[in-house]
Chains A and B, each alone.
Chain A
Amino acid sequence: MLSVSGLTKKFEGLTVMEGFNLTVRRGGFTTLIGPSGCGKSTFFDVLTGVFSRDSGRISWLGEDVPDLMGRVAYMQQKDLLLPWFSLIDNAMLPVKIAGSDENDSREKTIALFERLGLDGFEDYTPQKVSGGMRQRCALVRTLMFEHELVLLDEPLSSIDAITRRSLQGLLLLLQSEFNKTILMITHDIDEALLMSDELLVLTPMPMRVRERFVLDMPKPGRSGNPELLKIKEHVLEELEGDFDGTI
């Protein structure tokens, strides 16, 4: 279980979050949604140790940790593939960095490439394939991390709508087949409702959890669920209210 309590972060007098609390169940899929600029990405930066925190505790699997750097798999909007490596070498980057046996991992990577429809493109460089394929490669790379906890920072926001649908299904594999614990940031309420077990709606800065929804209906097959449509309407009203308030 990931537990965050009393997290506070200020930048030169600007309070991004104060006493922020969060719990993510082991094996769960929790999504954070909130107005633009509410501090979601800063929260990930504080979690991963990119920024230091002013106060608060972070614990993972019952153990207090200074931050999650080196303990977490991370995927974001930008695929961050290296143009000088082939797709397969990009996907194996976590293995290269960990110094593990690349021959063993290569077979696993090739199997994942087949699973995600990238077979035959192993030796292509990223600039020669489409955005959707690049993001699938980034997903394979995320799976090659030996870490159970995965942070997803708007991983599909730069992808077109059709490709996004198929990639959402692939992201769900992280949880269902690879038993990862997932914490995701998104701006897309539909994506959040389709994929999450738990949805946390955040307030504008200073960020705190405004509302929590437990989504226990089966995945996939949620689209059109009347209960989810109600939640969607409700959340959109709240977020639009924040937007009006900022003008």
Chain B
Amino acid sequence: MERSNWISLLIVLAVIAAWEFACGWFSIPDFILPAPSEILKTTVFKASLLLPHAGVTALEIIMGIFLSLLVAVPLATVMFACPSVERALSPFLVTSQAVPVFALAPLLVIWLGYGLSSKVLMAAIIIFFPITVSLLEGYKNCDREYAVFFDLMGAGFWKKMRLLYWPWALPYFFSGLKVGVTVATIGAVIGEWVGAQKGLGYLMIQANARLQVSLVFAAILCLSVMGLAMWVFVGFLEKRVIYWK
């Protein structure tokens, strides 16, 4: 393990130790701030309760990622192919990010119901922007000399896209995807807070109402682990796909 990783681990351990110590020293009740050991205990003993809800949230996030990819990849490609489309859509894209996604959650629940679809769409809306912008930036970053060389070989746009632009943009695409998967949990959880019957967000609201704060923290721990796992998985995928880097 590298030195910087050791330092990160030490910082995390120090914070947890201070937290544990403070809870005992100041006798903070569990319904205000449970100690890390209590959260871990709850996570283990309530695993049968947490896992089905975590499964639902994970499904929402994964479906959200696929939905955003289905829209973001063709959209970035069309915007790159037709600069006039890019000019026309850019203001809308930027405006879409100015609208707080939290404000959309109640509307999406009204329109799409309490089931999966409203949460999937929430996650997709959050992921969509970084992927579209990163991929478009990657296409545009292609070295002009390569593009001219492909023109000289008589390559059409789609051949250039397949053989040149897409591989060129892949590192940018993965950067966007990494950002996307880490923030995707926000979309899904907010959707669940507003109206759901399952999921970690739903469980947090229920536990909060009953002052089961250690269960709220256990759900947060599950969400963090899910986010981290997805980030690591995308990183692994990136190394496999971009083998030349």
What is the 8 Å Cβ interface bit string for chain B, positions 211-245, against chain A (1 contact, 0 not)? 00000000000000000000000000000001110
Question: Would you give the shortest CB distance from A143 to chain B, in whole angstroms?
Answer: 14
Question: Would you give the shortest CB distance from B199 to chain A, in whole angstroms?
Answer: 39
Q: How many A-B residue pairs have CB under 8 A?
A: 44
Residue of A nearest to B244 (CB): A83
Question: Would you give the shortest CB distance from B143 to chain A, in whole angstroms?
Answer: 9
Asked if A78 is at the interface of the complex by the 8 Å CB criterion, the answer is yes
A80-B146, A84-B244, A127-B244 given as contacts; is B151 within 8 A of A69 (CB)? yes
A125-B244, A127-B244 given as contacts; is B167 within 8 A of A82 (CB)? yes
A82-B163, A83-B244, A84-B244 given as contacts; is B155 within 8 A of A97 (CB)? yes
- Do the beta carbons of B244 and A70 come within 8 Å of each other? no
Cα–Cα distance between A98 and B159 once the two chains are bound (Å): 10
What size tier do the contact residues of chain A reach? 20 to 34
- Provide the residues of chain B in CB contact with A16, threshold 8 Å: none
Cα–Cα distance between A97 and B150 once the two chains are bound (Å): 8
A78-B145, A127-B244 given as contacts; is B152 within 8 A of A97 (CB)? no
- Do the beta carbons of B152 and A74 come within 8 Å of each other? yes
Asked if B153 is at the interface of the complex by the 8 Å CB criterion, the answer is yes
Interface residues, chain B, CB within 8 Å of chain A?
Answer: 145-146, 148-155, 159, 163-164, 167, 242-244
A84-B244, A97-B154 given as contacts; is B149 within 8 A of A74 (CB)? yes
A83-B244, A84-B244, A125-B244 given as contacts; is B148 within 8 A of A96 (CB)? no
- Do the beta carbons of B163 and A80 come within 8 Å of each other? no
Q: Which of A3-60 contact B (CB under 8 A)?
A: 48-50
28 A-B residue pairings within 8 Å (CB atoms): A49-B151, A50-B152, A69-B152, A69-B154, A70-B152, A70-B154, A74-B149, A74-B152, A76-B145, A78-B145, A80-B146, A82-B146, A82-B167, A84-B167, A84-B243, A93-B163, A96-B159, A96-B163, A97-B150, A97-B153, A97-B154, A97-B155, A97-B159, A97-B163, A98-B153, A98-B154, A127-B244, A145-B153
- Provide the residues of chain A in CB contact with B149, threshold 8 Å: 74, 80
- Do the beta carbons of A70 and B153 come within 8 Å of each other? yes
Asked if A131 is at the interface of the complex by the 8 Å CB criterion, the answer is no
- Provide the residues of chain A in CB contact with B167, threshold 8 Å: 82, 84
